[in-house]
């Protein structure tokens, strides 16, 4: 049985990605940290599509805890074919106010944890000709100079660089690696007071962003790798 791992699957975009994958008949591994009740509801929704939905708790706050999760994942699931690196802390702070510890936390969750998971799953992904989708943020394609959430944006920029590097390295191995980058999602904690002022007059729906993740993992995305699809409605264009 092949599996698809979605990190941060208990709420928001991760939950919507998981539900859409289940509708496409993916057996899903739903990662969560503290939101056990919420992820159980997501799992129940996924199983209604006739697929398996397994739960895995994991804390990505440190290298040690992340590698522990990777070890448990490999012990329990030998056939992971797809990976969605959705989890990632968000912080609204300009660079001069961002502490060194803030930088460590943002890079640990948004860069180091995804890389650890990719490295751990590489043999399985190659065996099963799988695919990876990393979640980014709008503005990466334009190398946007962010003074609003600097450390978060920098970590996502680093993840975009890694996404392209892995995509190129995996070309001969049959594994595709892409990124989907939202702008303002409907559940964003920093949604503008007047969302109608956004370029297209509204934030993105979770379903709209999740759709492109699922497409990139499916046969429709079989010839796409090393790309970043912005679901941002013109934000930071």
How far apart, in whole angstroms, are the C-alpha atoms of residue 201 and residue 41? 32
Mean pLDDT of the chain: 94
User: What are the structure tokens assigned to 89, written together?
Assistant: 């802390």
Among the residue ranges 60-69, 75-84, 86-95, 126-135, the one predicted with the least confidence is: 86-95
Q: What is the pLDDT of residues 147-182, one digit of tens each?
A: 678 888 899 999 999 999 999 999 999 999 999 999
3-state helix, strand, coil in the chain (%, to 5): 50, 15, 35
pLDDT per position as a tens digit, 2-11: 999 999 999 9
Question: φ and ψ at 22, to 5 degrees?
Answer: -65, -35
Helices (H) and strands (E) in the chain, counts: 7, 7
Give yes or no for a contact between 117 and 70, defined as CB atoms under 8 angstroms apart.
yes
pLDDT at residue 146 in the model: 65
Higher-confidence position of 22 and 78: 22
∠ CA 71-179-237, rounded to 5°: 150
3-state secondary structure of 131: strand
What is the band of 144 on the pLDDT scale with cuts at 50, 70, 90? low
CATH code for the structural domain at 3-231: 3.40.50.720
Q: What length does the chain have?
A: 237
pTM for the whole structure = 0.95
CA distance 97 to 110: 19
Q: What is the pLDDT of residue 116?
A: 98
Residue ranges per structural domain of the chain: 3-231
In the predicted model, what is the mean pLDDT of residues 184-208? 91
């Amino acid at each position: 049985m092949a599996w698809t791992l979605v990190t941060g699957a208990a709420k928001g975009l991760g939950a919507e990605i998981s539900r859409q994958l289940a509708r496409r008949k993916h057996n899903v591994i739903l990662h969560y940290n503290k939101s056990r009740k919420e992820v159980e509801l997501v799992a129940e929704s996924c199983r209604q599509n006739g697929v398996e939905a397994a739960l895995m708790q994991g804390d990505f706050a440190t290298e040690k805890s992340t590698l522990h999760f990777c070890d448990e994942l490999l012990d329990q699931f030998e056939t992971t074919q797809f990976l969605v690196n959705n989890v990632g802390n968000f912080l609204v702070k300009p660079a001069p106010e961002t502490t060194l510890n803030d930088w460590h936390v943002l890079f640990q969750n948004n860069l180091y944890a995804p890389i650890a998971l990719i490295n751990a799953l590489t043999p399985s992904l190659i065996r099963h000709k799988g695919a990876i989708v990393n979640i980014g943020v709008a503005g990466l394609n334009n190398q946007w100079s962010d003074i609003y959430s600097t450390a978060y944006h920098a970590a996502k920029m680093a993840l975009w660089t890694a996404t392209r590097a892995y995509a190129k390295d995996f070309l001969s191995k049959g594994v595709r690696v892409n990124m989907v980058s939202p702008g303002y999602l409907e559940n964003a904690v920093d949604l503008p007071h007047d969302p109608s002022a956004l370029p297209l007059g509204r934030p993105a729906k979770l379903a709209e962003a999740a759709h492109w993740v699922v497409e990139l993992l499916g046969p429709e995305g079989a010839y796409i790798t090393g790309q970043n699809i912005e679901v941002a409605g013109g934000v930071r264009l």
